[in-house]
Amino acid sequence: MLGIELRRSTAGTVAAALFLLGVAFMYGISGSDGWSGRWPQLATVQRGSLNFLWPLALALGAWQAGRDRRSDVGELFAGTPRPPWHRAAASATALALAVTTASLLTTAAALPPVLSGPAYFDPRALGVVAVGPLSLIAAAWLGMAAGRYLPSRLTPPGVAVAGLLVMVFCAPSAVRSDALAPLSVLAVPALPQSSDFAGVPGAVSAAQATWMAALAASALLLLGARQRRGRMLATVPALLGLAAGVALVPSGFVMTPYVTDARATRFVCADGMPRVCVRRAHAALLPEVVGPARDALRALGRLPGTPTEVREGIDHSGSPFNQERPDPATATFYTSLAYFDASTLSAELVAAGLAGGCPDRGYGPGELADAAARTAAAYWLLGTEPPVDGDNARRVLETWRTLVALPEREQRRRVEALHTAAVRCSPGLPAVLAGTGR
């Protein structure tokens, strides 16, 4: 029976649709840079695709349940001695195999960017991945149950819309209540985009898996139930699973199920001197960072009291690591694999090194002008012309051209004056570089 279902039911179509849409979401909408070299981000991006795939699995399950009605064989099968749950179990198993295969193939298709170099692996990512196919099975079986009890052509699109509404209005970011946060974490199997330095706790994955397994069990029992008592008993696994899931969810999850991954923030350093280090989650970047970083340190060496090593900082809202005090002996850069550009890293590091241990003051007009002056001085120290494209590029290029038009001794004097002012965290750096400030 299972072989016939796999060959002649919609199982193959379901697997193909979920696989193609899952891959299209990951590569077309998110882009492989979102998880390149990082297993945790691969897991969370794939779970993000459930915003669309979970409602789709609901609709496909409801469509599968209407097969007998569309073929007009319901009365024929009702007159056979075989219990209805036999056929329901075979059909449900075929659908479960289809959605599981689609989920696993989507994961396999996303592996090349992770395996292309040194990859950061967090064991908790396996739990995040495992919840994906389990939630799709629950959705497909729940859709089949809805299709059985609501036999209508409108049922598949109706349950799809209902699933989308759950994804939107029950997401942790939409439910800002401490009391409802555990229910929100369970209700929505999809995950939002995470920081490179954040992860999903194993307890959250365990809670979600428990709830989805219980929901799938209740949906399967509903498919085979013929009497009212059986339908009422079918809700017991879902209720028990909901209670167990809520108990497993750690407290304090409002708006997001992520916590800072301390292991991902540890330093990985290149061989040799001067010292160049990146965070462990970005270990794949280290070969690209070393060259520009050491070029920046050589350029900074033309001035006294400048940094002698390079380290990657953490730009992660809500992280306790954001409270790290700047170190005047370290040039710090912030990046993500999705936006890393090695061609501008040297200038970024020199500009950061000129400011010493001063904290970032923001992005107001005065701060942008100061940043342009530091960047122009950075390109002067590197001995290269600034690019014409990029943030603040026009102002940087004009400032640099004004500087290099001066006599060489005056150029150096003004860059040294800018460094002195920047180390004191003084504003008004464009005036210092223009020779009108101090």
Range 2-14 average pLDDT: 75
pLDDT at 319: 44
DSSP 8-class letter at 254: S
Average pLDDT over residues 183-201: 86
> Which has more pLDDT, 327 or 11?
11
Summarize pLDDT for 266-286 with one digit per residue, the tens: 999 999 999 999 999 888 888
3-class DSSP assignment, residue 288 = helix
117, pLDDT greater than 90: no
Mean pLDDT value of segment 346-354 = 90
Residue type at position 300: L
Count of all residues that appear for the chain in the document: 438
What pLDDT digit, counting tens, does each position of 51-108 carry? 999 999 999 999 888 765 555 555 545 556 666 666 678 888 989 999 999 999 999 9
Max Cα–Cα distance, the chain, nearest Å: 101
| pLDDT band of 151, cuts 50, 70, 90 | confident
Does residue 410 or residue 196 have the better pLDDT?
410
Say how far residue 288 (Cα) sits from the centre of its chain: 23
pLDDT of residue 74: 54
Annotate 93-131 with b (16+ C-beta within 10 A) or e (fewer): bbbbbbbbbbbebbbeebeebbeeeebbebebbebbbbb
Residue 342 CA to residue 367 CA, distance in Å, equals 24
Reported in sequence order, the residue ranges of 142-217 that DSSP labels E, i.e. its strands, are: 198-199
Q: Which of 77-81, 319-323, 407-411 has the lowest mean pLDDT?
A: 319-323
Q: Using the 8-state DSSP alphabet, how is residue 28 labeled?
A: I
| Mean pLDDT computed over every residue of the chain | 85
Query: For residue 317, what pLDDT band results from cuts at 50, 70 and 90?
Result: very low
Average pLDDT over every residue of 402-415:
93
pTM of the model: 0.82
Can you give the pLDDT at residue 320? 42
Distance between CA 301 and CA 315 in Å, rounded? 27
Residue 377: per-residue pLDDT: 94
Tokens of 389: 């494209």
What pLDDT is attached to residue 64? 85
Query: What percent of the chain shows pLDDT beyond 90?
Result: 45
Q: Would you say residue 323 has pLDDT above 60?
A: no
By C-alpha distance, which of 349, 354, 374 is closest to 293? Answer: 349
pLDDT score recorded for residue 116: 79
Q: 258 falls in which pLDDT band (50, 70, 90)?
A: confident
Q: Is the pLDDT of residue 336 over 90?
A: no
- pLDDT (0 to 100) of residue 299: 94
Least-confidence region, from 81-85, 124-128, 182-186, 418-422: 81-85
Pair of tokens at residue 427? 């504003």
> Is pLDDT above 50 for 26?
yes
What is the CA angle 45-46-48, rounded to 5? Answer: 65
Mind listing the pLDDT tens digit for each residue in 205-252? 999 999 999 999 999 999 888 788 888 999 999 999 999 999 998 876
Are 269 and 276 a contacting pair, CB within 8 Å?
Answer: yes
- Considering only residues 320 and 173, tell me which one the structure prediction assigns the higher pLDDT: 173
Which range has the worst mean pLDDT, 163-177, 273-287, 307-321?
307-321
